[in-house]
Amino acid sequence: MRIKFLDAYESFYFIGIGGVSMSGLAKYLLSLGKKVCGCDAVSNEYTEELRSCGAEIFIGEPSDSVAEYDLIVYTDAINDSDVRLTEARKLSKNIVSRGQLLYEISRDFKKVIAVSGCHGKTTCCAMLAHIFSAAGKKFAAHIGGKDLTFTNFYYCGNDFLITEACEYKKNFLLLKPNISVVLNSEPDHLECYGSEEELKRSYIQFADCADISVSLYCDLPTGGITFGFDKSADFYAKNIRSGGGVFSFTVFESGGELGTVNLNVYGKHNVLNALAATAVARSAGIPFEFIRDGLSSFSGVERRFENIGSVNGAECIADYAHHPAELRATIRTAKKMTEGKVFVVFQPHTYSRTKNLFKQFVKVLAPLNNLFIYKTFAAREYFDDSGSALTLSQSLKKSKYGDSSNDIADFISKAQSGDIVLFLGAGDIYGIAKEVLKNQFSHK
């Protein structure tokens, strides 16, 4: 039976509809036959996809009104003084944040699986989508990236909702999941929490609100099901083998062998993501054979170690890594894949993150011999020199700094066959990299 909240509204206006999470929620409402409209600063594949599904989309400077819409939805990435948000308040419109709408939509499902953590959320959610699909479950997957099979939203029934639980501004505490997942708890978004201790307390609170909690062994004292490389974990991996950067391993549950998993995505960190997905699936009653088949069918997510082209025979990889731990894991994976050089183009994401984790960024990036720092993607923030990309570059003696696509092209032009070029960051570096490769190297 449809919940009362969604029944109360027939038309929805999304401020910042082009975001991967926002567009996924908009897709769900369109599937219910709701009228959906939205705006964003620039057009992208998600706005175009929504337009093709029947949503009305406005791009650029405000030229429309929110007056005719029942519920206004905004993303935390927009400024509080946004023109349409201001208009909605003046008109006394019903207004909710993205996180609040996600909670209301989650109540439309019998079971909710929410995946949190500083990194790995998108991959784990996508892995779960493949597992639940292999098992023939009726589910929806709200993914914070573009799975190469399911994109950012997939819907085939209301038994389960698989969704990312974003920790920014404590959004994940709005959810009331049946199964909560904490992949890791490294310091991030400290501008919202004030301290790492408060961040950890929030993760524990998130885990405690669920019927079943799954967390990395020895990371947080959640008291639920654990996963990891240690045999003391409830779910652990043995016989880990690597071939060409992808891994296979044997899964154990409570000390008993379940079977072997063969992954088709790069990086040892994905063994942990797969173990987390296995723990969740087993908690949902899914036999291991479907878990094995689902994980082997998962071929990756856009911007998660994605091959986007080549330069002078060197493979070019794009990855969403924007936290020091993510950078370390991605660079480590690349180094294991080649005996050649690894060229890194990194775009810092927000001034506050760079400032708060400055020493960690320097520690990870300082050993690199071929490093290019691209101008900061500010997102919701104003300029802060102490957390700028230039300041970071000046602290890395072997790095180069640039703020144009030509600067990037000059840097990567030195790569040769057998090398790997990494484009790292959560901002617009992905699109810039693809344009550079298309416009300046595709003809060579």
- Tell me the pTM: 0.83
State the pairing for strand pair 235-243/246-253: antiparallel
What distance in Å separates the CA atoms of residue 289 and residue 268, rounded to the nearest whole number?
Answer: 22
C-beta separation of 390 from 401 below 8 A: yes
pLDDT at 220: 75
**Tens-place pLDDT, residues 18-57:** 999 999 999 999 999 999 999 998 889 899 999 999 999 9
Residue ranges of the chain whose pLDDT lies below 50: 1
C-beta separation of 19 from 38 below 8 A: no
**Tens-place pLDDT, residues 365-422:** 999 999 999 999 987 788 999 999 999 999 999 999 999 999 999 999 999 999 999 9
What distance in Å separates the CA atoms of residue 439 and residue 59, rounded to the nearest whole number?
Answer: 25
pLDDT at 187: 61
pLDDT at 35: 97
Kindly report the number of other CB atoms within 10 A of residue 385's CB atom. Answer: 9
C-beta separation of 203 from 219 below 8 A: no
What distance in Å separates the CA atoms of residue 423 and residue 443, rounded to the nearest whole number?
Answer: 20
What distance in Å separates the CA atoms of residue 250 and residue 259, rounded to the nearest whole number?
Answer: 6
Among the listed residues 349, 338, 346, 354, the one whose alpha carbon sits nearest the alpha carbon of residue 416: 338
What distance in Å separates the CA atoms of residue 344 and residue 322, rounded to the nearest whole number?
Answer: 13
- The string of DSSP letters for 216-253 reads ETTT----SEEEESSTTSSEEEEEEEEETTEEEEEEEE
E strands, 117-187, in order: 139-147, 151-155, 160-164, 179-182
Kindly report the number of other CB atoms within 10 A of residue 434's CB atom. Answer: 15
pLDDT at 192: 66
**First-last CA distance in the chain:** 58
3-state secondary structure 289-340: HHHHHHHHHCCCECCCCEEEEEECCEEEEEECCCCHHHHHHHHHHHHHHCCC
State the pairing for strand pair 225-228/256-266: unpaired
- The string of DSSP letters for 39-63 reads EESS--HHHHHHHHTT-EEEESS--
C-beta separation of 139 from 156 below 8 A: yes
Cross-strand bridge partners of residue 236: 228, 252
